[in-house]
Chains A and B, each alone.
Chain A
Amino acid sequence: MKRQMSIENEIIDKLKEALREKVLEASSPRFRRVFVKIKNDALREAVAFLTDKLGVKHISTITGIDSGEEIELIYHFALQGAISISLRTIIPKNSLTIPSIVDLVPGAILYEREVHDMLGVIFEGHPDLSRLILPEDWPEGLYPLRKEYSPEELRKMVAESGGEA
């Protein structure tokens, strides 16, 4: 376990070395888990570093979290299928855009569309951000995973707009 712990710390050290002040926080709460928080303008740089220098090929998913004034995006990568590297970045709600990483990691194509549907984040450069999950009659601009509305309120809003919920 000790030996593995050092691999996680090595990943953190390398990321800090490459991105310097753009790494805001980094920790490894347990073996095979790494959490790194980066500035949102460094996302593509960080992902390119993971794929080119560390050999990360696999993205497991992208989690979007509404934390009030901001949207938190967590990109969950896996190194050699074993070490889960969660790259976190925060974007303000008044400018919900972030560059797409689909050209760097093609497997992210559906995960970005999912976050776009559920939270309204715009991934610049994504080939097709059309609806993936929400129904056609879902009201425009209503993002179900935002915290502003409870499931009941959502149901009411969708029904009022003529959709089915």
Chain B
Amino acid sequence: MGYGSIVRVPFGPQHPALKEPEHFTFEVEGDIIVDVKPRLGYNHRGIEKAMEVRTYIQNIYLAERICGICSDAHTTCYCQAIEELLGVEAPPRANYIRVIIAELERIHSHLLWVGIAAHEIGFDTLFMHIWRDRETVMDILEFVSGNRVHYAMNTIGGVRRDIPSDMAPKIRKGLNFLEKRIKELIKTVQVDPTIRERTVNVGILKPKDAVELCDVGPTLRASGIKNDVRRDDPYAAYGEVPFNVITNDGCDVYARIIVRCQEMLESINMIRYALDNLPSGMTRVRVPMVVPAGEVVSRVEAPRGELIHYAKSNGTSKPERYKVRSPTLANIPALCKMLLGQHVADIPIVLAGIDPCFACMDRIAIINSKTQEKKTISFEELRRYAQKWRKIH
């Protein structure tokens, strides 16, 4: 503080992996962030509009492609919304399979995130170890669905593929390996001084602010708020599968790592339970192409938090209006709050802390507000700068 001049640092915007690619303008005084302004939509694809001109069946595939990481969360939310409009229920076996796929997705998403978090703080060895282990869950997903990313498991009225009992041993074997590795990972995170140094007390989000800014998912739970759509508004078979809602009172990036790691262990147990108690019977019911007029609110706990879809039908084979709000948008106001008072060097890890899809954020321009002199640096350079800065401070 005390440098006297406020410099605006535009940040972003290329970020195509999510529905909400992000751009932030940081106002920094010296090295401290004093204001954050988000600017989204650089990759807004108009999916809501596109859904209005497509049939309910075509829209399953469009919903799947809203996100490349939580593709299953979107189709689950979409399919259960349309099922409710139609007044049909997915068979119990389909609901259990939905839980299995959703939890496998959560493990893959959280592992991806912990890997990226390790990368952001310059711990690339851990990043590579985690992503190697993550291949196990990707293999399971491919083994079950035939696909690594867009599993296309859900359909209106159930699931498209069964998980027969002879698949279970291979899934269990993979889960045993993952459990061992994730426990090891938690141990590493807890004792490693590099991780603690870069994440403890970084990106603080107090419980009061988290609630006020309507934060969701692991970010909210890492601020000590017990909130999980799977428990509070159960869907699919979540009302029958026992699990603990993981919370942590740390309110910092470290707490967000711990919450996600422990959630993966819960997910493993949930998949085991679902495999053990998989009901017999059909995996889908046939549904009509035309949906009666009505409206419905559908909610799902995606890996990043509460996902909400709203559907309004008009009695034809196409929806009148379809609204999607994915969890990252809900996390942005809280993210802006967390970044206040942080060092520029901590931007990458705090931003990564809410788990936005980070893959392609690669361009940052630093503008001196007085001279309007512009200097563009890549995200990679900022990351290196961050590590260098941390070494001397």
Contact = CB atoms under 8 A, between A and B. Distances in A.
Interface of A: 29-30, 32-33, 35, 57-61, 63, 65, 74, 76, 78, 80-84, 86, 105-111, 114, 117, 128, 131-135, 144-145, 150-151, 154
A68 B227 CA distance: 38
B38, B215, B306, B310: which has the most chain A beta carbons within 10 Å? B310
Interface stretch (B40-48, B118-126, B198-206, B346-354): B40-48
B219 to A, nearest CB: 13
Contact of A151 (B40, B50, B228, B329): B50
A150 B368 CA distance: 43
B332 interface: yes
Given A60-B299, A110-B329, A65 B321 contact: yes
A109 to B, nearest CB: 6
A58 B217 CA distance: 13
Interface string B303-344: 000101010100000001101010001101100000000000
Contact of A133 (B37, B41, B310): B41
B233 A109 contact: no
A44 B72 CA distance: 36
A111 B308 CA distance: 13
A151 B212 contact: no
A135 B210 CA distance: 29
10 contacts: A33-B296, A35-B295, A57-B212, A84-B297, A105-B214, A110-B332, A132-B41, A134-B41, A135-B41, A145-B48
A82 B232 contact: yes
A26 B233 CA distance: 21
9 closest cross-chain pairs (CB), A and B: A107-B214, A133-B41, A61-B325, A82-B232, A81-B232, A63-B323, A81-B227, A60-B308, A65-B321
Contacts of A74: 310
Contact of B306 (A29, A60, A86): A60
Contacts of A58: 211, 214
A60 B329 CA distance: 10
A105 B333 CA distance: 12
A12 B212 CA distance: 24
Interface string B247-268: 0000000000000000000000
B40 A132 contact: yes
B29 to A, nearest CB: 21
A133 B213 contact: no
A75 B299 CA distance: 15
Interface of B: 37-42, 44, 46, 48-50, 53, 84, 211-215, 227-229, 232-233, 295-297, 299, 306, 308, 310, 312, 320-321, 323, 325, 329-330, 332-333
Contact of A80 (B212, B232, B321, B329): B232
B266 to A, nearest CB: 17
A7 B214 CA distance: 22
Contacts of A80: 232
B303 to A, nearest CB: 17
B40 to A, nearest CB: 6
A61 B44 contact: no
A81 B213 contact: no
A161 B349 CA distance: 40
Nearest to A60: B308
Contacts of A32: 233
B233 to A, nearest CB: 5
A133 B308 contact: no
A65, A81, A84, A109: which has the most chain B beta carbons within 10 Å? A81
Contacts of B211: 57-58
B350 to A, nearest CB: 18
Given A60-B306, A106-B213, 19 more contacts: A60-B308, A61-B310, A61-B325, A63-B321, A65-B312, A65-B320, A65-B321, A74-B310, A78-B299, A78-B306, A81-B228, A84-B233, A84-B299, A86-B310, A107-B212, A107-B213, A117-B41, A134-B44, A151-B53
A108 B227 CA distance: 19
A61 B308 contact: yes
A66 to B, nearest CB: 8
A131 to B, nearest CB: 8
